[in-house]
């Protein structure tokens, strides 16, 4: 991703007015939201060494974000049900724009820019029935909503860009009540993994076996060859060993990772984040409830795990996988080895966004 | 805003937080020594005479020695605890795994070191609970006898492995929390927090699972979902788990814990009124009520420890683990 960003930044710089690039924001490699010691919320930029490169205050708890591929702009999404997303200029820390979903809809925490940075996709749901919507925003001078398409499922959460320019959406299948978080349909969930083209037209859909209908497909990581890793959260009876990681390449059947029984149970039926390793050879999934990060090969084989209290955020790192936790820890996971990069007086939130 | 803020250095060497050495030296490490002794005695008993009547007392002593450690599910125990005590098991993995071994007369029982490779559902205390106390199994049968012995010997080996891993490595990681080379605990507070959260989550497990599972709903109680009901240990395990929480709370705290101690008295009084040690009579409304009261008392003990131990330390629930998204 860094290469693409560098390439586009070069293009912009050559073609038009002198562009402000990510270097002006301290060249962060990651974005992460956090709650600070005094209870305030903020969005941070991080470099690969774990140093903070910028800090921007947030009006409420954030969830994930999206970095523009060329300009030092980040869209920080509020925790769902999200009433806002902030477009932040990471070079000067100023909020450039505040995005709001259409009336009767909420942001669901994730979104992504297109590879050329000209479009933003936002994951949303209708408050009334939790029907999923992907908002389409055009990035001319600033972001303007130009339309929306169905996400093809209930309660979508994560969305990722595919190498071919299309999108993959995790439709979690969970409908929520009036407060936007109370789950109302756990007995009749139908999660799916949906592929859309760049215009939002349905291309493909994966639905798991009915006995996994209560496995909410929530978070995604995409490998360079288009293989999608999807992390799940079990809403059925506690203590049931269920797969929490699935792998899918279009045209093939999904593969469900099957760790040893004790490992499966140790995750407490919950994967909060997923990331591909820096070398692209393994996926990691985190469970803050089980205090654990598990690693699987690209074929779904279990490779190992590390224990860490309240761990959740994960992102690819040149040395393996970067992990953050609610105690402020910032850790480099090199296989099963843990190397602390630092500890900040903040509670890192669910996700790290790789730029 | 190009100022590169450096992450506040939390990586300083510091002595372990008060309470952590006490928890290790007074409760956890002696607990593992006792667990090794009792499971060793159990293995020797089974090797001499594998019939249920002979093995049962040693089984109970071994189970008693595990309960003070059962809810400390960190470090070597974070997955290791499951193969010692595989429960809950609503899907019946334990009988399935045992029946599979018996049906095949699987020779894995002849080599204790091989037995570590079988499903964790066929290992440990719950496998013995079933083999020794369920009428479907006959310990006089030669293969079942070998199986009982293999489970007992494997359990003793698990105990030795866990004891060594705690004494040699994990205790040191807890004691040196915050030291530069410590990648497990980045500050002394993290070690304290790790032990403290085990106390709270253990009591939650006791209230919601050990008591909540058999209680089910008033319309549909589930007595067969009680822990170790076959060996009639369900109530005893609740009491021992509550004892363990009280003991660890005292080790972690620097002050007296009058609320905690009073709550523990409440737990004992409620337990004394429970009529069936295996909770098998809870479809009777009066018997059910006593178990419900016991669950309430366990929750009160949890609240007391949170107030007396957690609150002064400023330990709040996990930012991410208590969330869901």
* CATH at residue B205: 1.20.120
* Pick from A101, A59, A99: nearest CA to A81: A101
Judge if B154 and B220 occupy the same domain. no
Is the CB of B181 inside 8 Å of chain A's CB atoms?
Answer: no
Is the CB of A62 inside 8 Å of chain B's CB atoms?
Answer: no
CATH classification at residue B134: 1.20.1420.20
Rounded Cα gap, residues A283 and A292, in angstroms: 14
What pLDDT is attached to residue B68? 98
Judge if B76 and B156 occupy the same domain. yes
Is the CB of B313 inside 8 Å of chain A's CB atoms?
Answer: no
Judge if B167 and B205 occupy the same domain. no
Sheet containing A228-234: order of strands = A215-222, A228-234, A245-248, A255-256
What pLDDT is attached to residue A294? 98
Q: Residue-wise over A105-128: b if at least 16 C-beta within 10 A, else e?
A: bbbbbbbbbbbebebbbbbbbbbe
Q: A262–B79: do the CB atoms touch at under 8 Å?
A: yes
What pLDDT is attached to residue B15? 52
**Domain stop point among B154, B175, B196:** B175
Residue B197 domain boundaries: 188-313
DSSP string, B194-242: HHHHHHHHHHHHIIIIIIHHHH--SSS--GGGSTTTTTT-HHHHHHHHH
Please check whether residue B8 lies inside any domain of the structure.
no
Judge if B192 and B171 occupy the same domain. no
Q: Which candidate from B2, B7, B320 shows the least CB-CB separation from A288?
A: B320
Q: A312–B4: do the CB atoms touch at under 8 Å?
A: no
Tell how far CA A126 is from the center of its chain: 20
| pLDDT beneath 70, residues of chain B | 1-17
Judge if B117 and B31 occupy the same domain. yes
Judge if B169 and B218 occupy the same domain. no
CATH classification at residue A96: 2.130.10.10
Q: Which residues of B touch A53 (CB under 8 A)?
A: 2, 4-5
Residue A82 domain boundaries: 2-354
Domain tally, chain B: 2
Rounded Cα gap, residues A160 and A170, in angstroms: 9
ipTM over 0.85: yes
Cis ω for the linkage preceding A81 (within 30 of 0): yes
The answer, as to whether pTM is greater than 0.80, is yes
Residue B161: its H or E element: helix B142-165
| pLDDT beneath 70, residues of chain A | 1-18
Rounded Cα gap, residues A258 and B122, in angstroms: 19
Please check whether residue B1 lies inside any domain of the structure.
no
Please check whether residue B11 lies inside any domain of the structure.
no
Judge if B230 and B149 occupy the same domain. no
Q: Which residues of B touch A80 (CB under 8 A)?
A: 325
Please check whether residue B101 lies inside any domain of the structure.
yes
Domain tally, chain A: 1
pLDDT tens string A30-56: 999 999 999 999 999 999 999 998 898
pLDDT tens string B115-172: 999 999 999 999 999 999 999 999 899 999 999 999 999 999 999 999 999 999 999 9
Q: B183–A337: do the CB atoms touch at under 8 Å?
A: yes
Q: Among all chains, which residue has been given the structure tokens 């991080």?
A: A46
Is the CB of B173 inside 8 Å of chain A's CB atoms?
Answer: no
Rounded Cα gap, residues B87 and B63, in angstroms: 13
Judge if B266 and B160 occupy the same domain. no
Judge if B246 and B287 occupy the same domain. yes
Residue A28: its H or E element: none
- Partners of A231 in the beta sheet? A219, A245
Judge if B196 and B121 occupy the same domain. no
Judge if B141 and B218 occupy the same domain. no
Other CB atoms within 10 Å distance of the CB of residue B51: 15
Residue A52: its H or E element: strand A52-58
Q: A340–B82: do the CB atoms touch at under 8 Å?
A: no
From chain A residues 186-245, the ones with a CB under 8 A of any chain B CB are 218, 233, 237, 239-240
Please check whether residue B4 lies inside any domain of the structure.
no
How far apart are the CA of A213 and the nearest CA of chain B, in angstroms?
A: 18
DSSP annotation of A155 reads: S
Q: A309–B194: do the CB atoms touch at under 8 Å?
A: yes
* Pick from A43, A22, A48, A33: nearest CA to A321: A48
Judge if B65 and B92 occupy the same domain. yes
């Amino acid at each position: 991703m860094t290469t693409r960003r560098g390439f586009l930044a070069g293009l912009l710089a050559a073609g038009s007015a002198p562009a402000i690039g990510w270097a002006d924001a301290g060249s962060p490699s990651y974005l992460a939201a956090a709650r600070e010691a005094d209870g305030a919320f903020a969005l941070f930029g991080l470099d690969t060494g774990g140093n903070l490169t910028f800090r921007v205050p947030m009006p409420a708890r954030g969830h994930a974000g999206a970095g523009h591929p060329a300009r030092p702009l980040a869209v920080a999404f509020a925790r769902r049900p999200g009433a806002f997303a902030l477009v932040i200029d990471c070079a000067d820390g100023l909020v450039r724009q505040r995005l709001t979903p259409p009336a009767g809809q909420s942001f669901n925490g994730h979104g992504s820019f297109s590879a050329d940075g000209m479009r933003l996709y936002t994951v949303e749901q209708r408050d009334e029935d939790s029907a999923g919507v992907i908002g389409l925003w055009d990035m001319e001078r600033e972001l303007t909503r130009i339309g929306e398409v169905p996400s093809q499922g209930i309660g979508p959460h994560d969305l990722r860009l595919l190498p071919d320019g299309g999108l993959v959406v995790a439709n979690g299948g969970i409908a929520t009540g009036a407060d936007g978080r109370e789950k109302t349909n756990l007995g009749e969930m139908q999660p799916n993994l949906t592929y859309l083209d760049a215009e939002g037209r349905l291309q493909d859909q994966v639905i798991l076996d009915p006995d996994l209908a209560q496995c909410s497909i929530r978070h995604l990581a995409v490998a360079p060859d288009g293989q999608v890793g999807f992390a799940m959260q079990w809403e059925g009876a506690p203590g049931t060993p269920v797969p929490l990681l699935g792998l899918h390449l279009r045209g093939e059947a999904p593969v469900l990772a099957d760790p040893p029984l004790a490992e499966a149970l140790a995750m407490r039926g919950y994967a909060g984040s997923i990331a591909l390793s820096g070398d692209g050879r393994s996926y990691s999934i985190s469970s803050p409830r089980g205090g654990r990060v598990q690693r699987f090969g690209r074929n779904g084989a279990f490779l190992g795990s590390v224990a860490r209290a309240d761990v959740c955020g994960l992102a690819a790192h040149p040395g393996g996988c970067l992990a953050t936790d609610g105690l402020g820890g910032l850790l480099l996971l090199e296989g099963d080895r843990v190397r602390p990069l630092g500890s900040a007086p903040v509670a890192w939130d669910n996700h790290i966004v790789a730029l | 805003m190009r100022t590169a803020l450096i992450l506040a250095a939390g990586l300083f060497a510091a002595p372990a937080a008060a309470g952590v050495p006490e928890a290790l030296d007074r409760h956890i490490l002696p607990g593992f020594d006792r667990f090794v002794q009792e499971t060793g005695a159990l293995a020797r008993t089974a090797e001499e005479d594998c019939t249920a009547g002979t093995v049962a007392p040693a089984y109970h002593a071994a189970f008693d020695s595990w309960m003070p450690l059962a809810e400390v599910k960190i470090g070597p125990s974070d997955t290791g605890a499951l193969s010692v005590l595989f429960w809950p098991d609503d899907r019946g993995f334990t009988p399935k795994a045992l029946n599979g071994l018996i049906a095949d007369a699987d020779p894995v029982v002849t080599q204790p070191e091989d037995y570590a490779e079988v499903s964790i559902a066929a290992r440990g205390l719950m496998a013995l609970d079933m083999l020794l106390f369920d009428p479907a199994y006959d310990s006089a049968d030669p293969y079942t006898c070998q199986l009982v012995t293999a489970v007992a010997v494997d359990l003793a080996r698990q105990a030795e492995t866990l004891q060594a891993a705690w004494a040699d490595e994990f205790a040191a990681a807890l004691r040196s929390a915050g030291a530069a080379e410590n990648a497990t605990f980045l500050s002394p507070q993290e070690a304290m927090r790790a032990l403290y959260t085990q106390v709270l989550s253990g009591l939650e497990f006791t209230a919601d699972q050990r008591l909540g599972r058999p209680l089910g709903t008033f319309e549909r109680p589930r007595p067969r979902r009680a822990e170790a009901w076959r060996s009639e240990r369900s109530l005893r395990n609740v009491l021992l788990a509550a004892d363990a929480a009280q003991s660890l709370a005292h080790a972690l705290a620097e002050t007296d814990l009058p609320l905690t101690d009073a709550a523990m008295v409440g737990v004992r009084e409620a337990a004394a009124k429970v009529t069936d040690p295996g909770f098998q009579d809870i479809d009777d409304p009066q018997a059910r009520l006593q178990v419900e009261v016991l669950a309430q008392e366990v929750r009160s003990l949890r609240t007391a420890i949170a107030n007396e131990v957690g609150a002064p330390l400023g330990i709040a629930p996990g930012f991410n683990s208590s969330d869901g998204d």
